[in-house]
Amino acid sequence: MLKGVNIESIIRKLEKDRYSFGLGLTGLFSIITVRNIVESAFEGTQVFGFSPLTENSFYMIFSHFPLFYISLFVWFCLFFVLITGEKPGVVMKPLLIGLSVIVITPFIDIAVSRGSGYKLTYLKGIEEFTQIYRFFDFTRDLIQASWGQRIEIIAVLVGTAIYVWVKTKSVWKVMVSPITAYFIIFIHGVLPNTVAQIPGLLGISRLNYRTIITAGILSIDSQNYSIIFICSIFVFGWWVLKRYDREFARNILRFKKSLFLILATLLGIIYAILLIRPYFPFIFDNSVHYLIFFIALMIVHLVKMASLERRSSTQSIILTISALSAALAIGFMYFFIILSYFLFINYIVPAMKTRTSPPYLWRYLPGAICTILSFIGGFSVIFGQATFACVIPLDRTKIEAYGHELTGWNYFVDGNYGEAVVHFQTSYSLKESNEILKRLGQSYLYIGRSDLGIAVLNAIEPPDYETILSLGQAYVQKGKHESARHLYRNAVTANTEPVEFITLLAQAAARRGSAAEMDSLLRSGEKYGMSRSRFHQIRGDYHLQSSDYTLAMAEYDRALYYDSRSVLAHAGMGMAHYGKGDLVEAERSFSQALIYEPNNDVMHNNLGAISMVRREYDKARNHFERSLKINPLQSEAYYNLGLIAQAFGRNQQAIEMYSEALKINPDFKPARMALDRIRMND
């Protein structure tokens, strides 16, 4: 009893509820979708994953996250079956209701963050197991977990203990159950990056795969996550199914009935590998690729098994949904081929058999067509949306172009931009494409060839959001602020992520000290939904450039009130403290910003500047070099390295550093003056 509520009777009632498998599945998807859409609406711009109209967003909301929670659901179901001895059909019903706790998380986060939401990252890998205690340290703000998630997970642990107690009345099982539940959640948090590290552990280092990011043969990071979680669902879901319907589980492993389709799919994959490997030699270096191949083979088997089951039966629904969800995780092209195969074998063939003759034709023709579709499906696992362009008819030039584009992209996300340039150039020479041109231009910027990068990006018509952002940042770093503003104004006029570029225009006006222009842009930004944090951070920048550090700090405080993880507000606060001569607080603010954005080149440059003031030159040099590794267009970092070299009497090295700074930004006066002084003294 709990305040007059009999929890045991509630659980018993839930277990006895009768509803169809389809209704339960719909409820599960509804819970997950509501949570994800509400959460995503308060996080980042639409371009980076939160508008269902974009491919990135679609996979994030309707594939990656649903599969993550379904995998959790399956693992918990198996755990409850094992620890309570109940059947899956019994534990699934209260578990489904219990899972609805995830819906409260985004609302808690919205309230706690005052509407700004949280951007979270996956745990680095299984080695994070030693840091589990941090999750329960509520004095810490973690970038891997929000406050809503912490409450959600604690509620799950309590609910797990209560359910196990009601079912078993065993003290030791009650003690073990929340620990196991947390371990299940933890495993799901570390699984993607742990899988990504397998090649490195095996000594494969041609590409430095450290985490699951947009690399390999899948172009979107959310697809990589989806692949891992669909494998988890297949494996652990089969164990649950074995407890639910042993004969059905055994039938799933009877591959003889779909052997020809599996072989056709495998041949398609092998043929695609043979075609792509001369241009993309990393096909066997990524652990996710093997999971993709396994899933592709399983999908055709599941669709075949579904066609043998009675249509609309529970077994058929399970097999069909599993197959189509997995096919979608691999990609739209593979999904289209598998869907065509499913519709053909289940609807077209039965209809045609009753309406056409001779009958012997329909004895062999369906098998032949399904075999061909399976082969093309296997091929599409590697070539994706380029499948028909490369194969029908076989076009070696397009295959080579696609292979070099794929290789260039893998080098790009690995940070090896020099190699990326070589492959993007080759690919573009074979097939002109704005996407290749964009990556080529970005690669030029990253290796410090800013003029060439700007020229390439300017050739893209019409420019997309990412192109405008990269080009604008390059203009700013070269001191061409008017060009950047013109670019952003055109983006706003074209309705390309207007709030993002209105914000950048307002920030530029603030840093120029143009109060009237800034206020006008901020009012416009509010109409488009500019966050309150950014609003106050920009006003803080205005007061900072005016050297009114007290007012600047007040605005940054308000920005952090609305978003405690705002890197720009922490950075601005650090600059205000630096301006007031408080190096300790300045260093603390810059370091705090780095916690939320570890690869922020500007923060490393700022921390290096503080170390220089303290005459900690080795520490300063490390920060500046780290800054340049992240962003080779940091003219300030080159200038500061020149100052360090000059302090140690290495004038030739100082000249080289000042020259590099001026190569990036010819109007960078401190570097020009330092270079003139050193040459006059020589």
* Section 562-581 average pLDDT: 93
**Token match 């075949």: residue?**
304
The pLDDT of residue 448 is above 50? yes
pTM for the whole thing? 0.86
Q: Report the alpha-carbon distance of residue 326 to residue 323 in Å, rounded.
A: 5
What pLDDT, on a 0 to 100 scale, did the predictor assign at position 222? 86
C-beta of residue 31 within 8 angstroms of C-beta of residue 100: yes
The amino acid occupying position 387 is T
What pLDDT, on a 0 to 100 scale, did the predictor assign at position 219? 80
Measure the CA dihedral 409/415/419/425, to 10°: 50
Q: Report the alpha-carbon distance of residue 623 to residue 606 in Å, rounded.
A: 8
C-beta of residue 98 within 8 angstroms of C-beta of residue 163: yes
CA nearest 7: which of 171, 176, 169, 162?
A: 162
Fold held by 497-598: 1.25.40
C-beta of residue 399 within 8 angstroms of C-beta of residue 279: yes
Helices (H), 17-64: 21-40, 55-59
34 vs 582, residue with greater confidence: 582
The amino acid occupying position 458 is N
In terms of phi and psi (left: phi > 0; alpha: psi -120 to 50; beta: otherwise), the region of 87 is beta
What pLDDT, on a 0 to 100 scale, did the predictor assign at position 35? 86
Residues with Cβ within 8 Å of 666's Cβ and at least 6 positions away in sequence, in order, are 478, 479
What pLDDT, on a 0 to 100 scale, did the predictor assign at position 213? 62
User: Of 44-58, 391-405, 613-627, where does mean pLDDT reach its minimum?
Assistant: 44-58
Across the chain, what does the average pLDDT equal?
Answer: 88
Fold held by 395-493: 1.25.40
Written as six digits, the tokens of 623 are 């920060």
CA atoms within a 13 Å half-sphere pointing along the CA-CB vector of 573:
26
Topology agreement, domain 395-493 and domain 497-598:
yes
C-beta of residue 590 within 8 angstroms of C-beta of residue 556: no
484 vs 141, residue with greater confidence: 484
The amino acid occupying position 655 is I
What pLDDT, on a 0 to 100 scale, did the predictor assign at position 52? 44
Task: List the helix and strand counts (H, then E) for the chain.
Answer: 35, 0
* Section 291-315 average pLDDT: 89
What pLDDT, on a 0 to 100 scale, did the predictor assign at position 669? 85
* pLDDT digits 0-9 by tens, 153-179: 999 999 999 999 999 999 999 999 999
The pLDDT of residue 236 is above 50? yes
Written as six digits, the tokens of 21 are 């498998």
Terminal-residue alpha carbon distance, the chain: 88
C-beta of residue 478 within 8 angstroms of C-beta of residue 664: yes
User: Of 127-141, 153-167, 298-312, 566-580, where does mean pLDDT reach its minimum?
Assistant: 127-141
**What DSSP state is assigned to residue 677?**
H
Q: Report the alpha-carbon distance of residue 133 to residue 95 in Å, rounded.
A: 26
Q: Is 348 helix (H, G, I), strand (E, B) or coil?
A: helix
Written as six digits, the tokens of 242 are 């074995």
Which residues lie across from 2 on neighbouring strands?
5
- Where along the chain do its domains lie? 1-200, 245-393, 395-493, 497-598
242 vs 126, residue with greater confidence: 242
Residues with Cβ within 8 Å of 557's Cβ and at least 6 positions away in sequence, in order, are 573
Give all strands (DSSP E) within 229-349, no chain letters: none
**What DSSP state is assigned to residue 5?**
B
* pLDDT digits 0-9 by tens, 525-569: 988 888 889 999 999 999 999 999 999 999 999 999 988 889 999
What pLDDT, on a 0 to 100 scale, did the predictor assign at position 362? 63
Q: Would you say how long the chain is, in residues?
A: 682
Give me the phi and psi of 402, to 5 degrees please.
-65, -40
What pLDDT, on a 0 to 100 scale, did the predictor assign at position 49? 38
* pLDDT digits 0-9 by tens, 310-333: 777 888 888 999 999 999 999 999
